[in-house]
Structures are given as C-alpha cells and as structure tokens.
C-alpha cells in the first residue's frame, strides 16, 4: 500500500533541501532481478534505509528530503519489479523473503553493519519483517501508516470496510468487475492484471490505483491517474503480494515482535488513515516498551500530507539531535 503520487508542493516548506545522490548502484540479486540503489547525504553519517510502499511504489527524490544531509547516510532502493529496478512489473521470484534477502545484500555490498529503518505502509511491513529476521543489524525503526499484512487489514480495504465511508468510490472500483466476482475483489483484479494481454493489464491497473489513491489523504483527488507503465507495475506487484497474504504467516509480525522489542521505534500514524486504520499501529505499539506512537490529527495515510511530513521530519531531526547530544562530553 501507499502510492506516492509526487505530491510535494503541500509539504515543500517542511522538508530539508533537495539533494542529489553521492552514489548510485546497480546490484544484481539473482533470479534475473537487478536493483537500483542510491545513497544520499553524508557518506560517514548515520546509516538509514528508506523502504518505499506498495509493494511496487518505488522511491522518489521527495523521500530524500526527510533527512539532514549533514548527519545521515541515506540509502534508498527500488524493490524488485518496480521503479528503476529490472525487470519491470515482474512477480517471478518476488516475495517478502526475497526482499529481506535483497536488503541484506544491499547492506553487505555497501559495507554497513547496522542501520535505522524508515518505512511507511508496505514499507513499514517490510521494515518489521526485516528487523525481526535480522535484529542485530538494526538500530531502530521509524514507521508510518502501519500495515501488518493481515487478512483483516486486506478485508478492510478490499472487502468493503472502507467502502462504508466511500461508497461512491467503492462502486467505481467495483464497476469493471462482473457482479458474480465482486465477493473477491483481489482475486477478480488478479485475473485481469495477470492476463496475457498487456493492454488488458493496463486497463485494470488504473482503477486499482485510483481506489487506493483516492483514500490516501484527506484532500486526495478522486479521479487522478498515474502513467500507464507505473500503474501496471504497481497494481501487479501489490495484487501479487496481497493475493498471497504478503508472503507472511497470519499474524507473523505481531507474533515475532519480541525479537525487536529491545529496539527503539517511533510510529507516525494519521488519525484518519483510511488505508491503514490506526487500530493496527495502536496494537503494534501496545506492550513495546521503546515504542512511541504519535497519532497525527487531521491527517490520513499519505507520506506527502503536510502534518505527516512535518512530524516525520521532526522525528528524524530529533534522532539527529539525540545522536549529537550523546557525542557531546
């Protein structure tokens, strides 16, 4: 979940200045996949890994601007099948376990021992899955719009829960699907997004994205569409993961939370997030001693919402200041 639509203008004044990468990498991870990886900021700074949403969303220059470039060594990458990684829209050898292994490969390739994880929506899911697998290589987590990949969360968004608040948009999402198939919208779209005809894939990718994008923010545009190739990659990858329960055991991330409870975490959660409702973030934070849940008023899901942006920048500036204070005698 979490399509970043390049909505920078509303949040422009709250971000750090734009920066260019000091290094770009092409990392071969096997199975025919080649990952795009970039590094920004201070090569000697505190390492932080940015995990984008979707699955299939890809990174953007906007994501570099949550970090003080003098303090952080920021690593961003496009996950398998999306963004500048190749091949585009491929679901072959593309599972959560593959992505966890990719992150481990990136870390060792770049010579990083431990890093802070920064991820929202599906990026939060992947951050938790990686941290629970490799806790010794994580210094902490900053999560936004928490999604744990459970069936109840998928039922909320694709089974009619969110439709109670957006019946008109839900009807538009259902419209391309025959009435007899509407009891399983993920499955119905799966048939069409993985049809042998690329044109048919593209036609059904747009309504998949429009439904999610319309609910992402309090002021989202309800009819906005994305470039065709981006839409196809995003919709296919997201549907692939959701069709397989995100390649996680049901409740796995909560079950294994004990592996990371010694780590600090901050959760930034929109109070009115209709894509990933706050209940999930609240459950994740409960009983985690070092977890700080920050419910942001008058905000939804999108990374680019002004209050969400401002809070995340404040969080990362606070981590920076704590680092500096620890170094001061």
pLDDT, tens only, 252-302: 999 999 999 999 999 999 999 999 999 999 999 999 999 999 999 999 999
Q: Are strands 72-77 and 33-41 parallel, antiparallel or unpaired?
A: antiparallel
One of 52, 98, 240, 301 is an active-site residue; which one? 301
**Same-domain pairing of 127 and 213:** no
One of 2, 273, 299, 304 is an active-site residue; which one? 273
Residue 60 known to be catalytic = no
State yes or no: pLDDT of 215 exceeds 50.
yes
- Our CA dihedral for 258, 260, 262, 268, rounded to 10 degrees, sits at -110
**Same-domain pairing of 180 and 99:** no
Give the domain-ending residue among 219, 245, 271: 245
- Nearest CA to 277 out of 121, 117, 57, 55 is that of 121
Cβ-contact 275, 242 below 8 angstroms: no
Q: What integer best gives the mean pLDDT of the chain?
A: 94
Q: With respect to residue 85, please indicate whether it lies within any of the assigned structural domains.
A: yes
**Same-domain pairing of 212 and 122:** no
Four-residue CA torsion sign, 159, 273, 78, 231: positive
Q: What is the pLDDT of residue 328?
A: 67
Q: With respect to residue 71, please indicate whether it lies within any of the assigned structural domains.
A: yes
Give the domain-ending residue among 223, 245, 267: 245
How far apart CA 286 and CA 139 sit, in angstroms, is 20
- Per residue in 99-108, pLDDT (tens digit) is 999 999 999 9
**Which bin fits 271, alpha (ψ -120 to 50), beta or left (φ > 0)?**
alpha
> Would you tell me how many other CB atoms lie within 10 Å of the CB of residue 198?
12
**Same-domain pairing of 224 and 105:** no
State yes or no: pLDDT of 8 exceeds 90.
no
Residue 301 known to be catalytic = yes
List, in order, residues 6 or more apart from 24 with CB less than 8 Å away: 36, 37, 38, 39
What pTM was estimated for this model as a whole? 0.95
Alpha-carbon radius of gyration of the chain: 19
Q: With respect to residue 4, please indicate whether it lies within any of the assigned structural domains.
A: no
- Per residue in 36-82, pLDDT (tens digit) is 999 999 999 999 999 999 999 999 999 999 999 999 999 999 999 99
Q: What is the pLDDT of residue 6?
A: 43
How far apart CA 209 and CA 232 sit, in angstroms, is 9
- Per residue in 304-313, pLDDT (tens digit) is 999 999 999 9
Q: With respect to residue 3, please indicate whether it lies within any of the assigned structural domains.
A: no
- Nearest CA to 75 out of 121, 43, 120 is that of 43
**Same-domain pairing of 38 and 67:** yes
Number of domains in the chain: 2
> Would you tell me how many other CB atoms lie within 10 Å of the CB of residue 196?
6
**Same-domain pairing of 238 and 303:** no
Proportion of the chain above pLDDT 70, given as a percent: 94
**Same-domain pairing of 129 and 197:** no
State yes or no: pLDDT of 129 exceeds 90.
yes
Q: What is the pLDDT of residue 327?
A: 77
**Same-domain pairing of 240 and 276:** no
Q: With respect to residue 199, please indicate whether it lies within any of the assigned structural domains.
A: yes
**Same-domain pairing of 135 and 85:** yes
Four-residue CA torsion sign, 90, 194, 56, 291: negative
Angstrom CA distances, 13 to 10, 135, 142, 292, 309, stand at: 8, 35, 21, 25, 10
The DSSP element (H or E) to which 257 belongs, if any, is none
Q: Is 324 helix (H, G, I), strand (E, B) or coil?
A: helix
State yes or no: pLDDT of 10 exceeds 50.
no
Q: With respect to residue 1, please indicate whether it lies within any of the assigned structural domains.
A: no
Give the domain-ending residue among 245, 276, 305: 245
**Same-domain pairing of 37 and 110:** yes
Find the mean pLDDT for residues 142-163: 98
Q: With respect to residue 177, please indicate whether it lies within any of the assigned structural domains.
A: yes
**Quick one: the chain helix, strand, coil %, rounded to 5?**
45, 15, 40
One of 121, 220, 299, 304 is an active-site residue; which one? 121
**Same-domain pairing of 165 and 198:** yes
Q: With respect to residue 31, please indicate whether it lies within any of the assigned structural domains.
A: yes
State yes or no: pLDDT of 3 exceeds 90.
no
Residue 135 or 217, more confident: 135
Cβ-contact 290, 262 below 8 angstroms: yes
Q: What is the pLDDT of residue 221?
A: 63
Residue 280 belongs to domain with CATH number: 3.40.50.1820
**Same-domain pairing of 55 and 116:** yes
How far apart CA 153 and CA 157 sit, in angstroms, is 7
Instruction: Give the count of alpha carbons within 13 A of 227, CB side only.
Output: 8
Range of the domain at 170: 152-245
């Amino acid at each position: 979940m979490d399509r970043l639509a390049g909505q920078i203008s509303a949040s422009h004044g709250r971000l750090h200045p734009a920066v260019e990468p000091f290094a770009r990498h092409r990392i071969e991870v096997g199975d025919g996949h080649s990952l795009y990886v970039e590094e920004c900021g201070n090569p000697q700074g505190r390492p932080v890994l940015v995990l984008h949403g979707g699955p299939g969303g890809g990174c953007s220059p906007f994501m570099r601007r949550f970090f003080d470039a003098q303090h952080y060594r920021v690593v961003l990458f496009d996950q398998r099948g999306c963004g500048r990684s190749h091949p585009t829209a491929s679901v072959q050898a593309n599972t959560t376990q593959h992505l966890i292994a990719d992150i481990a490969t990136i870390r060792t390739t770049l010579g990083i021992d431990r890093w802070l994880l920064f991820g929202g929506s599906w990026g939060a899911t992947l951050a938790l899955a990686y941290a629970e697998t490799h806790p010794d290589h994580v210094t902490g987590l900053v999560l936004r719009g928490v999604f744990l990949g459970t069936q109840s969360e998928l039922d909320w968004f694709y089974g009619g829960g969110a439709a109670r608040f957006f019946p008109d948009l839900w009807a538009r999402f259902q419209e391309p699907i025959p009435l007899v198939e509407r009891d399983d919208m993920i499955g119905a779209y799966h048939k069409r997004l993985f049809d042998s005809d690329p044109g048919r894939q593209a036609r059904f990718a747009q309504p998949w994205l429009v439904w999610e994008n319309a609910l992402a923010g309090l002021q989202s545009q309800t009819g906005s569409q994305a470039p065709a190739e981006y839409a196809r990659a995003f919709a296919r990858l997201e549907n692939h993961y959701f069709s397989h329960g995100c390649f996680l055991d049901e409740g796995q991330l909560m079950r294994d939370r004990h592996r990371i409870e010694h780590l600090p975490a901050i959760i930034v959660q929109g109070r009115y997030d209709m894509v990933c409702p706050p209940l999930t973030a609240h459950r994740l934070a409960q009983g985690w001693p070092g977890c700080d849940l920050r419910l942001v008023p008058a905000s939804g899901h999108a990374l680019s919402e002004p209050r969400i942006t401002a809070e995340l920048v404040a969080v990362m500036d606070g981590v920076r200041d704590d680092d500096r204070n620890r170094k001061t005698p």
